[in-house]
């Protein structure tokens, strides 16, 4: 089975513990994302071994994340992204299942193409709503002081985290992406892997960049939030602007099925 192959490769990596990652948290960084078939993950990770260590928490190397995205009634954050605003924001509650901790997180993309993340450990109010503490935190970093946010989308996925042995970069590999709307409807994408390279500066000499290039896997912008929102909300505006992403996902699904038949 594919999961067994991935676990076998994971077990060959040198570990790094959560308390030792230090600067590799990279709360101010440059991000680059790649989408590919999850079938390619074992081969890619085999090539990465030696250049990267793997995050290990209590002998776990695959971590489950549960995310609730917040937005305004008119989906301001979604529209910022799909219309190509260079300076944009995202707000979410994220539960880290392995540690049991939940954080309220703000991600800000600057017009210099850097990602800055702020977060506080905080559980949502009933219904995944924001309470006074949440709004005090949000208003500290976002310019719209009268924002009223509500939960609009839920997602879950499993993540592998790798840290560069020589270069300060963090690689995450997400799979088993699943979306839920607030009515309980669900859509899963077990065939895609989302690889993200997070680093302090341009990735000159990054081993993962060469590995992905050698495998004809190219960088592409991809927002889990925007894709899921367009997928799960029938009447969301500007859905056609994400058509290239839907086509790419379909292409990866076809590749996954083709690889499964060989």
The torsion angles phi and psi of 119, rounded to 5 degrees, stand at: -155, 155
Q: What is the pLDDT of residue 251?
A: 95
Angle value at C-alpha 30, between 244 and 253, nearest 5 degrees: 30
pTM of the model: 0.94
Class of 2-261 in CATH: mainly beta
CB 81 within 8 A of CB 88: yes
Q: What is the pLDDT of residue 22?
A: 62
Q: What is the pLDDT of residue 28?
A: 87
pLDDT band at 262, cuts 50/70/90? low
Residues 35-75: tens digit of each pLDDT: 999 999 999 999 999 999 999 998 999 999 999 999 999 99
* 181 vs 27: CA distance, rounded Å: 29
Q: What is the pLDDT of residue 205?
A: 81
H-helix or E-strand containing 256? helix 243-261
* 160 vs 155: CA distance, rounded Å: 17
DSSP string, 180-242: E-TTS-EEEETTEEEEEEEESS--TT-HHHHHHHHTT--B----HHHHHHHHH-TT-TTGGGG
Q: What is the pLDDT of residue 202?
A: 73
* 101 vs 122: CA distance, rounded Å: 8
CB 142 within 8 A of CB 106: yes
Q: Among residues of the chain, what percentage have pLDDT more than 90? A: 80
Residues 88-136: tens digit of each pLDDT: 999 999 999 989 999 999 999 999 989 999 999 999 999 889 999 999 9
CB 140 within 8 A of CB 108: no
Rg (CA), the chain: 18
CB 162 within 8 A of CB 173: yes
Q: Among residues of the chain, what percentage have pLDDT more than 70? A: 97
Residues 138-186: tens digit of each pLDDT: 999 997 767 899 999 999 999 999 999 888 899 999 999 999 999 999 9
Q: What is the pLDDT of residue 141?
A: 92
């Amino acid at each position: 089975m594919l999961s067994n192959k991935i676990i076998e490769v994971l077990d060959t990596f040198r570990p790094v513990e959560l308390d030792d990652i230090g600067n590799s948290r990279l709360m101010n960084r440059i991000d680059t994302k790649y989408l590919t078939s999850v079938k390619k993950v074992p081969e890619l990770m085999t090539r990465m071994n030696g250049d990267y260590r793997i995050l290990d928490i209590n002998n776990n190397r695959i971590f489950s994340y549960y995310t609730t995205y917040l937005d305004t009634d008119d989906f301001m954050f979604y529209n910022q992204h799909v219309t190509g605003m260079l300076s944009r924001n995202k707000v979410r509650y994220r539960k880290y299942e392995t540690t049991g901790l939940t954080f309220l997180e703000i991600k800000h993309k600057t017009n210099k193409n850097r990602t800055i993340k702020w977060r506080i450990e905080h559980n949502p109010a009933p219904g995944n709503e924001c309470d006074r503490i949440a709004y005090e935190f949000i208003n500290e970093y976002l310019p719209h002081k009268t924002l009223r946010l509500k939960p609009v989308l839920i997602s879950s996925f499993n993540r592998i985290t790798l840290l560069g042995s020589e270069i300060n970069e963090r690689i995450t590999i997400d799979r088993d992406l699943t979306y839920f709307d607030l009515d309980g409807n669900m859509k899963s994408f077990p065939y895609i892997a989302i690889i993200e390279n997070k680093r302090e500066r341009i990735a000159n000499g990054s081993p993962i960049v060469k590995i992905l290039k050698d495998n004809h896997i190219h960088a592409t912008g991809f927002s889990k939030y925007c894709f899921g929102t367009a997928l799960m909300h029938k009447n969301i505006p500007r859905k056609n602007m994400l058509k290239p992403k839907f086509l790419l996902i379909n292409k990866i699904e076809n590749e996954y099925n083709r690889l499964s038949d060989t």
